[in-house]
Amino acid sequence: MSKLITVLNGPNLNLLGKREPEIYGHDTLMDVEEECSGLAQALGFSCRFQQSNYEGQLIDWIQAAREDSAGIIINPAAYSHTSIGILDALHTFEGPVLEVHVSNIHKRESFRHHSYVSERAEGVIAGFGVQGYSMAIQRMATLLQGK
């Protein structure tokens, strides 16, 4: 089995730490990447951490993950609420998918309450700040180890 976990981040998450810190906190995406990589390694996995502001790029990376990744963790950001293309791409992936949101999307504007990606995700983590990514890595390791 592949030991690679692909972690995907959608639009505007490159600005994590600078963007609306009252909602998303002060940690940067690089901080999150370091945390995820360290934790994945400690659990016997590796992680490929990617961010794009473009829907098609995220779809290409999901398709690439079909070839080499055991699981996908995705924060689709605004595309959560709009993208059937990302949902369709995730449906072509055979391993587990976990969805992460830094903020609690259910406590925010009603247009954020629905996520297309949730229809494919084994689990959704929202509102735990960037700690949600570590929680997702932990859960992914458990799922992949078949526990």
Instruction: Give catalytic residues, as residue numbers.
Output: 24, 101
Residue 43 to residues 15, 65, 105, 145, Cα–Cα distance (Å)? 28, 20, 29, 10
Site size for ligand DQA (CB under 6 A): 10
Residue 129 interacts with ligand DQA (CB under 6 A)? Answer: no
Residue 101 interacts with ligand DQA (CB under 6 A)? Answer: yes
Residue 118 interacts with ligand DQA (CB under 6 A)? Answer: no
Residues 69, 75, 83, 134: which binds ligand DQA (CB under 6 A)? 75
Shorter beta-carbon distance to ligand DQA: residue 87 or 102: 102
Report the alpha-carbon distance of residue 104 to residue 110 in Å, rounded: 12
Q: Render the burial of 16-27: b for 16+ CB within 10 Å, e for the rest.
A: bbeeeeeebbeb
Q: State in angstroms the smallest separation of the CB of 3 from ligand DQA.
A: 26
Helix H segments across 20-147?
Answer: 21-24, 29-42, 55-68, 84-91, 131-144
Residues 102, 117, 140, 141: which binds ligand DQA (CB under 6 A)? 102
Contact 41, 101 (CB under 8 A): no
Report the alpha-carbon distance of residue 15 to residue 98 in Å, rounded: 22
Shorter beta-carbon distance to ligand DQA: residue 12 or 28: 12
Q: How many CB atoms lie within 10 A of CB 113?
A: 11
Q: State in angstroms the smallest separation of the CB of 80 from ligand DQA.
A: 6
Shorter beta-carbon distance to ligand DQA: residue 125 or 140: 125
Contact footprint for ligand DQA (CB under 6 A): 12, 75, 77-78, 80, 101-103, 105, 112
